[in-house]
Amino acid sequence: MSVEAKVLNLVNYITGSAGGWPNLSRAGIVGSVDYTIESGSDDIYFYELNTNVLNTGGLSEQKDVYSQIANYAATQSFDTAYVYGVNLPRLHDQGNKIVKNPTNAQQVMISSSFADHNIETIFEYNQKTASTYFNQRGNSNYNSKFHLFIETPSFSDDNLYNLASGSYEKEEFRSILSSSPESNSLIPLFTTSSYSQFNNWPYPDFIQKYSGYDSSISGDNIHPYTYETSSFDWNRFNEVGSITEKFIIGSGSLVDDGSTYGKRFMSNGRVIFLTTPEKTIILKNKYDGQYVHIQKTTSDYWTLKSNFSPLGASGSLVQMYDGSTTQIQDIEVGDLVKSYHPTDMSLMELGALSYTNAELSGTMSGSVVMELKSEQVDYHYLINGSIKLAGDNTQAVVYVNKSGVWCWRYPSELAVNDVLLDKNANEVTITSIEEVQQSDTYYSLDVEDIDTYFLSDILVHNLPPRK
C-alpha cells in the first residue's frame, strides 16, 4: 500500500473515531504526516501527525498546494474562504520566536488560487474563539462560506480539535495510531529486554522523544542513542513524558563515502493533506532519504546535522577571513570565511534557535567551509534595496535585534526598524523589506566550527531548514 493510501486511511479513521464533523461546519483542516520508509523491507512507519503545517518548497510547489484547496472549495460552490492562520510566539521556544503561517507571500498565493474560482479570501490571525467560524457554523444561511484552518484549531469548543487529534502530543498519536487500521505503521518502542547487541552496529538503536514537544527531526527535542549494555544507565530515560522508539533505518539513508560504514542519515517524508466533511485530499508528498546527517559523538549519543538551507543568491558576496570578498557561487571547500561568535551561543547548530542576548557581545573569528550546495528558489526578500535573502520557507536565519534583544530569525520574520549586524560589527537598521517573485539560483554554506558567516555584509547562520 502506498504512503498516500495509508495516510488517507489514518486520517479518515481519526475523523470517524473522533465523532465526525460538526453540523454545517463547512471547514477544512490542513495537516501532515511525517514518515519513513524502512530500508530493505520498504515498510512505512509514521513519526507524527501535525497541524499548523508550513507549506515549504519552491514557488510552483507551494502554489500547487493552494490550487488544490481552491479546487475543492469550487466543487462546494463556496464564494468566500476564511483562512485562519497564526502569528504568535512559539511558547516552547526560548526567545518567543514568532512564526507567521501563512506568510505574507503565501497570502498572495492563496488569494490568487481562490480568485481563479471567483472566491473571495479573508485572512484572520490569532482570532481564536472570536473567529468568523464560530459565528457561522451550524447556520445554513452561510452555506457558501468556507473555513480553512491552517492554524491548529486547538481553541475550538466543538469537535474540530478532536478531528486533528494526534497533533503535537506523541503519546496521544501513538495511542491513536495503534488502534487505527494503519497500526502496522507504529514505530515499536525500544526495550532493553528484547535488545541484542551487535558489534560495531553503525546506526543508533533508539530515538528519545518527549510527548509534549515538537519532535520533528529538524527540531532540538529528538535524541538518538546507542544502547551500551555494559555501562548504560537506562533509568535516565524513564522520566515522565519521555518516549524511546526503535531507530528505523530509512531507505536511501546510507551514502558510501569511502569510510568503513559510510555516511549515515535519518530519513524523513511528509504527506500534506486537507481533511473536510466531504473527503480527505492528498496535497503533497515528498520523501528525503538523507534529510539529517547523524554522527556518533560519544559512546552512546548521536548528534543531528540537518541539510543546511539556501540563503544567498548567485553573485552575493561572502566576507573572507583575510578581509577579501568572494561571490558565494565561487566559494570552495576549505576556504576560510569570517565568522562572529555571539557570547555564550551554543556551537550545536540547533542551539541557535533559542539563543538570545540583550547585549551585542561576541568575538570575530574564522570558520572553514565544509560544503556548498545550491538550488532554485522562486522568490526572495529584498532588504534595504540591496540585500537579497531566499524567500522559501526553508531558508536559513540572520542575526537581528528585535525590540532590544539579539536573536536568530528567518527572513520572513524580519520587520522594518529591526537591526542587523554587519562585517565590521556595525548595526544596520532595516528601512525597507520587499517580497520579490523572481527565480534564481541560491547557495548555502556549511561552515565550522562557528556556524556563522557574513553574506551581503550581514551576519547569517547555516541553520538547517524548518519543516
Rg for the chain, CA atoms, rounded:
23
Q: Which three cell numbers stand for residue 415?
A: 520587520
Instruction: Give the integer Cα–Cα distance in Å for 322 and 101.
Output: 41
Query: Domains of the chain (ranges plus CATH)?
Result: 3-182+269-288 (no CATH), 185-263+293-306 (no CATH), 312-461 (2.170.16.10)
Instruction: Give the integer Cα–Cα distance in Å for 1 and 402.
Output: 48
Dihedral sign for Cα atoms in the order 12, 16, 18, 20: positive
**Would strands 98-101 and 427-429 be described as parallel, antiparallel, or unpaired?**
unpaired
Average pLDDT over residues 270-296: 92
Nearest to 293 by CA among 238, 236, 254, 257: 254
- Which pLDDT band, with edges at 50, 70 and 90, does 134 fall under? very high
Contact 285, 421 (CB under 8 A): no
pLDDT tens readout for residues 136-189: 999 999 999 999 999 999 888 899 988 887 666 788 889 999 999 999 999 999
pLDDT tens readout for residues 10-25: 999 999 888 889 999 9
Residue 249 has pLDDT above 70, yes or no: yes
Provide the pLDDT for residue 82. Answer: 98
pTM listed for this prediction: 0.78
Contact 438, 445 (CB under 8 A): no
**Would strands 145-149 and 120-125 be described as parallel, antiparallel, or unpaired?**
unpaired
Residue 89 has pLDDT above 60, yes or no: no
Residues in the chain: 467
Task: For residue 222, give the amino acid letter.
Answer: I
